[in-house]
Every structure is written in C-alpha cells, then in structure tokens.
Amino acid sequence: MIKTQFATPSDDFAYGASAHDVAGLKLSLSIFADRAHVRDQLREDAEAAGFRIAETNGLAALRDDDTRPLGEVVLLDVPEVDGAALAALARIDLRCAHADAALVVSTSVAALDDVFGCLDQSNPQILVNPSRAERLIALGQVLVRLPGARVRELSEGDRLMLLRLTEQVSQMAQRIERFNGPGNANSLGVPGSGEGRAVPSIEPAEAGGAFRFTPATGLADAIVETSGGLVRAPRQPLPDAQLVRRIIRQRQQRARFFEGDLFADPAWDMLLDLTAARVEHSRVSVTSLCIASGVPPTTALRWIGQLTDAGLLQRHEDETDRRRAFITLTDKATDAMSGFFARRGDTATRMV
C-alpha cells in the first residue's frame, strides 16, 4: 500500500491548496461506489486530504433520488454501465455543472465510451482503472480547480509543466506499487518534446489551455485581402491517409525495441490518428483515441482535455445516440496539420 503525503511547496511552485483553503471551511465531498473497498479507500484518502465526507453510498442511491445533496466534490466509481447508470450519470453531470461542483469519475476501458458520452456538462475528471495514486492526484487537481482556492494564478508554461509533472509523479507511484504488491501497475507515459515543433507549432500559451496554436505566415490559415474584402485562403490539402497510417506504424514499431515511455508523445500521436481519420471520413471514439495515444487511458484523457482547451480537438455527439460522442480535429488543427505536411513535402515519408 502506498502512503502518500502532501507537502507544502514553496511559492515557486503552483500547488498550495488544501480542502480548508476555500472560504476557510472544509469542502464537502460525496462518494458513490458499489465496490466496498473502493468506497473505503476513497473515504480514507479524502479525509486525509482534509475534506468533510457528506455521504458514502452505492450508486443506487443516486438512481433513486435526484434531489439528494451531492456536496462540493463528487466521486463516482462506475466500472460497468447499464441504461439506468447512464441516465443517472447524465443527471449527475448536469447537476454538478449547475452547482459548480467538481466531479471525478472512475471507470473501465470497456465502459469508457459510454461514460464519456454522458459527461458533457461539468468538465469532469475521468480516470480509467485508476490506481490509488491516480485518485489522490485527481483530488489534488480538484483543489486547484475549485473557485476561491488560494493558489496563485498559473502561467501557461506552469500548466504544461504541471501536466508533465503529474504524469511523472503518477509513473513513479505506479512503479512503487509494483514493489509493494499487486494492483494497477500500468506504467504511465511522460509526454515528450514532440515532432510537431516545425511550423505551425503547439507551444505554451498565454491564455486558455496548456498549448497555443501558432499559425505560420503564408500557410493555409492566412487571411488575405481581395477586392471583395477579407477572404480566408484555401486550406492546403491533407496528406494521403495511407501515408499518415504508415508514419503511425513506424512510430509504433519503436516499442518493439525500446521502452514505450522513452518515446511517449501522446499529443502528436493523437493528432496523427485524427488526421488520418479525417481524410478517411471515419469517426474516432475516445477509447480508440486513447489507444492511439500510446499511453494509459487516464493519461490520454488528460491530454485530450488539454488539446480541447487549446482549440485543437472537439467533441461531436453521435446523431443516432446522444449518449455516444466522438473526437475530431478542429478546423484550426486541420489547418495546422495540412500546413505541416505541406511544408514537409516528400520528407514526410521519412518521419517517425
């Protein structure tokens, strides 16, 4: 078992909140999980972090009563779903959004697409088969996000650093768990420097998410002036899907000879996969995109959130089933990828 201690960092670091930091009171937290050992762990960890436990119950309590108080933070464990569970998730998501409550949901790979499709209002944290360490990290992120928390404003460089540090801490905790006993021992990838640093690029931003889209002068997203007014220049064509898929396969082959963490670059791998899908006119589920990222699902979901905040990815609801959702490139990201491949030209075939 991991013993985790939250230390008080110096002013040079961005983390400095506890559950007492909001309005000087303990934050109320509700736990809903059918698995007894998960309920016990969540309660123990939340109390250690300074939260006041408002309720600990099974998921049936939520299905039976839509009016029960949820608290300022809600932890759900939903490893399996059925129609009733999905309906309850959608209602909880809406209630948390209206109440500005933080929602953290643990689920499984098998249920991820359904759970993701139900949660589109409250900007929840979704954890996939999480270890105890990952749940603790999620609680820490809740404290930073809550309104009124006494945490200094993060610069965008800090946000990217914090995301990478989170993955490093999670990776170390997982490796410690391997020595301490059985558990979720997935090795978490540490985002790399990426290949997409040529123009256009994804860099630390001045506002918004952890990335900024930097268009290149004269590329497809330029606005040009004509006699009829301002007109958007035509976009460069996207590369052939077979070329992109070949690049993806070449990148994946490295794992046959090296540790996967050595080359982990989830943002770029997801952008490549979505580029090929756009050319193929195919839809990509969140589970498929997590697989394409080459890192564990919880890590991939964090990157999906960051890329969405940066305006590079967007969510699309399934027209035939509102409980399902897909991820696509935004027009801004499509311009960036088309411009990137146009700039690389014939050398794109040698990319790995």
Within a domain: residue 237? yes
Q: How far is CA 103 from CA 70, 97, 110, 218, 299, in A?
A: 10, 9, 20, 43, 17
- Asked whether the predicted pLDDT for residue 183 surpasses 60, the reply is no
Q: Which domain holds residue 62?
A: 28-152
Helix residue spans in 4-131 (DSSP H):
36-48, 60-64, 83-99, 112-118
Question: For residue 228, is pLDDT > 60?
Answer: no
Final residue before a domain boundary, out of 137, 152, 167: 152
Please say which residue of 95, 118, 152 terminates a domain.
152
pLDDT at position 41 over 80:
yes
In a domain, 218, yes or no: yes
One domain, residues 219 and 144: no
- Across 16-25, 189-198, 265-274, 313-322, the highest mean pLDDT is recorded for 265-274
Place of tokens 């965008």: 156
The per-residue pLDDT of the chain, averaged, comes to 75
Average pLDDT over residues 277-290: 95
Distances in whole angstroms, Cα of residue 330 to Cα of each of 216, 307, 311, 314, 338: 17, 10, 7, 6, 12
pLDDT band at 110 (very low <50, low <70, confident <90, very high): very high
- Residue 348 is given by DSSP the state G
The mean pLDDT of 289-296, rounded to a whole number, is 92
Q: What is the pLDDT of residue 28?
A: 92
Same domain, 148 and 208: no
Q: Is residue 164 part of a domain?
A: no
pLDDT, greater one: 261 or 188? 261
pLDDT at 61: 87
The answer to whether residue 178 is domain-embedded is no
pLDDT of residue 150: 42
What's the confidence (pLDDT) of residue 12? 34
Residue 161 located in a structural domain: no
Closest CA relative to residue 337, chosen from 276, 253, 294: 276
How many Cβ atoms sit within 10 Å of the Cβ of residue 71?
Answer: 21
Model confidence at 216: pLDDT above 80: no
Could you give the count of Cα atoms lying within 13 Å of 45 in the half-sphere of its Cβ?
Answer: 23
Number of domains into which the chain is organized: 2
Residue 198 has pLDDT above 50, yes or no: no
> Could you give the CA distance from residue 220 to residue 236 in angstroms, rounded to a whole number?
6
Picking from 107, 27, 117, the residue whose alpha carbon sits closest to that of residue 74 is 27
How far apart, in Å, are the Cα atoms of 248 and each of 232, 241, 273, 297? 31, 11, 8, 18
Judge whether residue 154 has pLDDT over 70: no
Q: Which two tokens stand for residue 309?
A: 């905040």
Sign of CA dihedral 126, 128, 129, 131: negative
For residue 119, being part of any structural domain is answered with: yes
**Among the ranges given (185-199, 256-270, 301-315), the one the predictor scored with the smallest mean pLDDT:** 185-199
**Each residue of 84-102: pLDDT tens digit?**
888 889 999 999 999 999 9
Confidence (pTM)? 0.71
State how far the alpha carbon of 217 is from the alpha carbons of 181, 200, 223, 335, in Å: 54, 9, 10, 12
* 129 three-state secondary structure: coil
Q: What is the CATH number of the domain that holds 251?
A: 1.10.10.10
Q: How many residues in the chain?
A: 352
CA 70 to chain centre: 24
Q: What is the helix (H) or strand (E) element at residue 142, kind and residue range?
A: helix 132-145
- Where does the chain show beta strands of DSSP type E? 28-33, 52-57, 73-78, 102-107, 125-128, 201-203, 212-214, 223-226, 229-232, 284-285, 313-317, 325-329
- Indicate if 145 and 214 belong to the same structural domain: no
Cα dihedral 235/241/247/251 (nearest 10): 110
Type of residue numbered 340: F
Give yes or no: residues 146 and 215 share one domain: no
Asked if 283 and 291 count as a contact pair (C-beta separation under 8 A), the reply is no
Q: What is the pLDDT of residue 3?
A: 41
- CATH of residue 70: 3.40.50.2300
Q: Does 232 lie in the same domain as 127? A: no
Same domain, 73 and 214: no
